[in-house]
Amino acid sequence: MEKERKLVLFTVDIADQLIRDLSKEFPQYEFRRTNSKDEALSIVSKAEILVTLSPSSEIITSAKNCKWLQVLTAGVEDYLAIDAVKSNQNLILTNASGIHRIQISEHVFAIILALTRGIKAAVLNQQKKIWAGLERMTKPPPMMELYGKTLLLVGLGSIGLAIAKKGKAFGMKPIGLKHDLSKRPKDPEYSSYVDAIHGAEDLSNVVSTADFIVNSLPLTKETEAVFDSKIFSSTKNGAIFINVGRGKTVVELDLVQALKSGRLAGAGLDVFEIEPLSNDSALWEMENVIVSPHISGWSAEYFERGLDIFRQNLRRYSAGEHLINLVDKKAGY
């Protein structure tokens, strides 16, 4: 008698070819996918493994026999808000940490260059057929070179390290802040890209030395609202702030005030306290601010990378080995 296959349910649209490839490589599993909430609810109780891109409390709570939840995002705060995930110590939770490092680091420098080379102003002037030359130099942020500037990376995971590498290529001086100094980057060449690493408690001191501050922090109890008026008042006058982490790590009103006062010369923001960004937010109309709608993590290669992580983990899971990207539910990442 043929042994019953274990069900792996994808609640994300993936290609037919991937289902075929997975079925061939892992014949002991049955792979199903659905975009329908009703269909997912009708079969999820039979699933041993659930792969998802967006949290659904109803679906996850109904997954009574699920042993492993693979999330195709890096952030997991929305999943940990679901009791069936947070309280079930037997449920393995893995994320897609590392999936964003290439595209987000590129996005960061797209924003930095757009601000420091006057690209945003040039595009707006192009639409109005305005030739604005040297007078652009008088508006914040000033035209500047990246060479020799200090780049502070608040959060030194895979994204922070990727940003550091690109910063080094521009001749910048990358320094990093990491919550747990005992967990230094695994990249054996990290010392070639990061000039110094500080503990999170040094934030208020270190921001005073940075020309560019890049926040890639996850959202946890410790990081919520960490960038407030106190931190912004400690920044180097004329610094530029970039946020590609989580919106709620920043007190938005304090950020706006720091921009209006001139303390910050500019900002590039991909995430916000409340999304979508409210129509009445002052950030929309600030000439020295670039707003992108939480898109820094997306690219055409996103699902390919995410499913490579899943495939690696499925091999490990089948062999009873330790999974990669295992989430510490207490720490929140």
Label residue 15 by pLDDT band (50, 70, 90). Answer: confident
Helix (H) or strand (E) holding 213: strand 212-215
Encode pLDDT of 50-108 as tens digits: 999 989 999 999 999 999 999 999 989 999 999 999 999 999 999 999 999 999 999 99
* CATH 3.40.50.720, the chain: domain bounds: 6-98+300-319, 101-291
- State in words which class domain 101-291 has: alpha beta
Encode pLDDT of 242-294 as tens digits: 999 999 999 999 999 999 999 999 999 999 999 999 999 999 999 999 999 99
Other beta carbons less than 10 A from residue 33's beta carbon:
18
- What are the tokens at 330? 């207490």
Specify the residue for token string 């390919």: 304
Say if CB 295 and CB 269 are below 8 A apart: no
Helix (H) or strand (E) holding 240: strand 239-243
> What is the per-residue pLDDT for 187?
62
Convert 80-103 into a string of H (helix), E (strand) and C (coil): HCCHHHHCCCCCEEECCCCCCHHH
CATH level 2 (architecture), domain 6-98+300-319: 3-Layer(aba) Sandwich (3.40)
Upper half-sphere CA count for residue 241 (Cβ side, 13 Å): 32
**Nearest CA to 144 among 302, 16, 4, 288?**
288
> What is the per-residue pLDDT for 1?
45
Encode pLDDT of 141-163 as tens digits: 888 999 999 999 999 988 999 99
- What are the tokens at 98? 């590392």
> What is the per-residue pLDDT for 93?
98
> What is the per-residue pLDDT for 7?
98
Say if CB 176 and CB 160 are below 8 A apart: yes
User: What's the pTM value of the predicted model, to 2 decimals?
Assistant: 0.89
Label residue 136 by pLDDT band (50, 70, 90). Answer: low
- φ and ψ of 135, to 5 deg: -65, -20
